[in-house]
Copies of this chain bind each other. A is one copy, B any other.
Amino acid sequence: MIQFAWEGWWMADTYSFLSADISQYNIDAIEDAELLMITLHNFEAMLLQLPIMERYFRILFQNNIISKERRLINTISYPAEEKYRRLVATHPEMVQRIPQNLIASYLGLTPETLSRIRKKLMQS
């Protein structure tokens, strides 16, 4: 599980989109969703015609990098229970809205490990 996207977000396999190579991943809607799509051709045409969109996407990508850096640090720096605690503290809406098996995959844990952690936290 690489990423969750919320209302108003763009979502792509960035490598696949930009290289026009086949994606190794799926994008699943876990709730009903209305989607806007853009092709690479139209994305590039838009950037050439509207330079302000270069700025928009440069800033959007900057923010994406910040969020990916935080997630990476969380993933490599903490033991399993602490990872889940931090997710609950920083993204409570994720824990409420997203099925537990996807949360486990997002944290790089098995569903069994996550289930054990949740039981322990609920008891304490």
User: Taking beta carbons and an 8 Å cutoff, which residues of A are in contact with B?
Assistant: 1-2, 13-15, 18, 47, 51, 54-55, 57-58, 61-62, 64-66, 68-73, 75-77, 105-108
> Residue on B with the closest CB to A25?
B73
Q: Which label, helix, strand, loop or mixed, suits the secondary structure of the A interface?
A: helix
Contact: B58 with A107, CB < 8 Å?
no
Q: How far is the CA of A72 from the CA of B47 in the complex (A)?
A: 28
23 contacts between A and B (CB under 8 A): A2-B69, A2-B72, A2-B73, A14-B66, A15-B66, A15-B69, A15-B70, A18-B62, A47-B58, A51-B54, A54-B54, A57-B58, A58-B58, A58-B61, A61-B62, A61-B64, A61-B65, A64-B65, A65-B65, A68-B69, A72-B72, A76-B105, A76-B106
Count of identical protomers in the assembly: 2
Residues of B within 8 Å of A70, CB to CB, are 15
* Most chain B Cβ neighbours within 10 Å, of A54, A77, A106: A54
Q: Which of B2, B61, B76 contacts A61 (CB 8 A)?
A: B61
Residues of B within 8 Å of A108, CB to CB, are 75-77
Q: Which of B18, B47, B75, B76 contacts A55 (CB 8 A)?
A: B47
